[in-house]
Structure formats: C-alpha cells, structure tokens
Amino acid sequence: MPEVSFNDYYSRQILFRGIGAEGQRKLADARVAIAGCGATGSAIASLLARAGVGFLRIIDRDYIEPSNLQRQTLFDEADAAQFLPKAAAAARRLSQCNSQVTIEPQIEDLTPGNVEKLLGDCALIMDGTDNFETRYLINDYAISKGIPWIYTAAIGSVGVTMNILPGETACVACMFPESQRGAGETCDTAGILNAAVTFIAANAAAEALKFFVGSKDLMRRTLLTQDLWWNDHAEIPAATPREDCRCCQQREFPHLSGENRPHISLCGRNSVQIHEKSKVIDLAGLEQRLAAHGAVRRNEFALRFWREPYEMTIFPDGRAIIKGTTDIGIARSLYARFVGA
C-alpha cells in the first residue's frame, strides 16, 4: 500500500479554518502525555493521534479485560483474550491508524518517583486516570512545573472536564480542595455509558487542539459537567484560582512527596495493586515455579496466575494486580507467598 502523504491524511482538518496548514504543522510538533488509557484515555488518544499530534506518550498500569470493551474503543476481544497491557495495545492500534505520529507506550503506574520521567518532557498532560489520588499528583506536578493539563472523568451517564492553565486558571485543588478518596460512586457501583465517555473525551481533545494551534484564548475556563441521560448541563467558573488554594497559591505539593500514598483499587474491579520498587521479575522462571500451584499464562508483557478465588497479574518490574480482594493485607500475603517478599 502506498504511503499516505501528510496533506492527504489531514486534508479535511487543514480545510477547517480554526486549524489550517499552519496549525497542522504545529500539531505535528506537539508532545502530549496521556495518563491512563482506560475509557476516556483511549478515546482521547485515538482522537489526538488521528488529528496529527506528533508525539503521544501513553501511560497505563493495567491490562485489558472483556468488561473494558463496552467503552474502551481502541481494544478488541483478541486483546482481552491475550490480557495485553492497555498502553502496548493502544500504541499498536494507533500506529496502524496513523504512521505519521510517534506513540510511546509506558506500562507503568504513575507515581511520585517516576512522574518527572513520564510527564516532564511533554507540553500538555491529558487525564485518563480513574482516581483522584493520581489526579492530585498530576495537579501538583503540573502546577509546580507550569505545565497545562486537562482533567476528565466519566461515571454513569455523566462526563466532567476542566482545563488547568497554571498561572491563569483554577487548578483541581482549587475546585476539589478535600481529598476525593472514597467519595462518590465508581464505574463498579454506578456503571458507565460509553456515550458519556466519548462526549467528554471529544471535548477534552478539542481543547488540546486549541492549545497547540495557538488558540488558547478560546479554551474553556469552566468546570464542565454534562449528563447525557438526564440532559443536565452545568458549568462552574474556573477562570480564577482560589485565593487560599494550597497548590497553585500556597505552592504546597504534598502529593509529590509520596508520603502516606494509599493503595489504589482499580476502577471497575475488585482488586488491589502492589508495586515493589526496583524488583525485577523473571517471568519465565516465575511461570515454572507457579505451574504447580494453579493455572498460569504468560506473554511478553506480563504473567497471569489463577489460584482460586484470586487472580494475579505480575509485570516484569515487580508490580502486580491481585484480583478477588480489596484487602491490602491479603494482597500482600499472596504476593509474598507466590512472587516473593
């Protein structure tokens, strides 16, 4: 198949007067980090890759399951059957959709220890995460470095998004000053409508394009909430930082220190993540050891081990996702027993 030219691929987008030829060239030079490649993250990644954003780093700690396919548009049943990491599967799919962009998958959990490595060389951060603990980390890092980022979330039939422009707008800590950990519903309790995901991802992607083509003045300065089922719409002003904000005004960044960082249960699953720092796992050797204790499957990215009623997915960096419990003590005990202390 002949290679598709730059002008052919983006011809209809170049015709749009908000972007044009100059804007398209700017997009080709843009660098974006997408933190999380679940429902909103995968939709954002697809839109930005097809729009011609030149570099996308996709950061995700998780693997694909059948329950993801209803709303995570980059993946298919074969990906779930192979329990592929979301970042790797997304990179493969997007490279097939647009070979003119660079897609860098990072199969990692975003933490205070790696936040600089994963986010530091990008001009914009897109939020595709599923918890406020990670969002507070992104917010602290982005404000401390002056990097714009776009917050997105979807639950039930509701989508929420907000642009954070350091030094100009309110930040996430301005709008949500108290920890959101344990508050409200999750997709595990309330479900999720795929149309809500698509709506809010498209909104966030459009804001990202405005930023890169030089139309920052057109970026929305509100916290937008849209309920696609009950037809509710709300926008809360976010153009001005809150005077007493601990982050963007007082310049306090506790989430960057990592102190008392909690274990995070993954969205939509009865599971716990364990991350052993600087622990390298020989997956082939582990497969041989675990074969006598339960069912084992391995691919180039991870190993999956079933020991009823639990399921463990272990990654080469020592990280593991233990499904079947939300008890951290049980998860750590299983990890120590089958992987090692």
Q: Render pLDDT for 290-326 as a digit per residue (tens, 0 to 9).
A: 999 999 999 999 999 999 999 999 999 888 999 999 8
Cβ neighbours for 134, distance < 8 A, ≥ 6 positions apart = 35, 36, 110, 264
* 12-41: average pLDDT: 98
Checking 177-184 for CB contacts under 8 A at 24+ apart, the result is: 177/242, 177/245, 177/246, 179/132, 179/133, 179/136, 180/132, 181/131, 181/132, 181/133, 181/262, 184/155
- Report which of residues 16 and 133 the model is more confident about: 16
Q: Are the folds of 6-257 and 271-338 the same?
A: no
Token pair, residue 116, equals 């600089």
How much is the pLDDT for 185?
66
pLDDT-wise least confident of 103-117, 216-230, 326-340: 326-340
* 3.40.630.30, 3.40.190.10, 3.30.300.30, 3.30.310.10: CATH of 271-338: 3.30.310.10
**What is the H or E stretch that residue 306 is in?**
strand 303-307
How much is the pLDDT for 12?
97
Please give the Cα distance from 76 to 94 (Å, whole number).
13
Closest by CA to 31, choosing from 64, 53, 51, is 53
Question: Model confidence at 270, in pLDDT bands (50, 70, 90)?
Answer: confident
Domain segments of the chain: what residues? 6-257, 271-338
| pTM, 2 dp | 0.90
Buried b (16+ CB within 10 A) or exposed e, 265-296: bbbbbebbbbbbeeeebebeebbeebeeeeeb
* 268-286: average pLDDT: 80
309: preceding bond cis by omega (within 30 degrees):
yes
Residue 322 phi, psi dihedral angles, 5° rounding: -105, 115
Q: What is the CATH number of domain 6-257?
A: 3.40.50.720
In the numeric block, the tokens 């310049």 are attached to 251
Give me the DSSP letters along 202-223: HHHHHHHHHHHHT-GGGS--EE
